[in-house]
Amino acid sequence: MVDRRIVKLKATQEMMEKYNPPPGINLIFLEWMPKKEEVIVEFVASPLQPDPVYRKNMNDIRHELGLVWRDRLLQDDLRQHEKSPRRAMVVESILNHPFITGDTKGINLEGLLPSGVQLSPRELKKAAEEAIDTKEIKMSPEQAEEQIRLGSTGQKLNIQPVEVRQERRLEQLLSRGGEKAEYREVYGPEENVYLSGVLDSG
């Protein structure tokens, strides 16, 4: 489940614009109080991100608050706010992503695994098995080569499609006199088909 924590900070909008949270921790600004130089902000993260660089949880949020905002933390864990969205984050992935299956052959893992972070935790595999809103993603081999990459490093990922599909249709030929004649089968370009689904949302 997505981890969320609402806090009140002593900070101006300019300070927040300069603040760069760690990869995997997103911010939602819920209420600005410029006269008081205060802001209510929601920190959001998910432990079910396939890319381990983006894989964060409540402990990471607490650590970030203590490390960066300790002296400006006015109220911690406000629980709720009227402007807090019902869904703050959706984690969607190709379901046979190498960091889900554990098949990372050919991937440079240097710098990808923060201390104490597992590459393919059991919870991540379970989330893929129980993924909701599953759908097919179709790409040409050229598109797959260019677009299927690891978000944190840009490395190409060699993810095998669940199917290679070629659209087939019937095309009616014309005779020399311009009259319609028999049909023939025409094949479109090959497309790689991948299965994608939502691993986490909230």
pLDDT in tens, 35-83: 999 999 999 999 999 999 999 999 999 999 999 999 999 999 998 999 9
Compute the C-alpha angle 20/23/26, nearest 5°: 70
Task: Look up the pTM and report it.
Answer: 0.85
pLDDT in tens, 80-124: 999 999 999 999 999 999 999 988 888 888 877 777 778 888 999
- Per-residue tokens: 124: 């991540």
CB 64 within 8 A of CB 34: no
- Average pLDDT value for residue range 29-38: 97
Give residue 202's pLDDT: 94
Distances (CA, A) of 161 to 34, 106, 131, 148, 188: 51, 17, 17, 11, 18
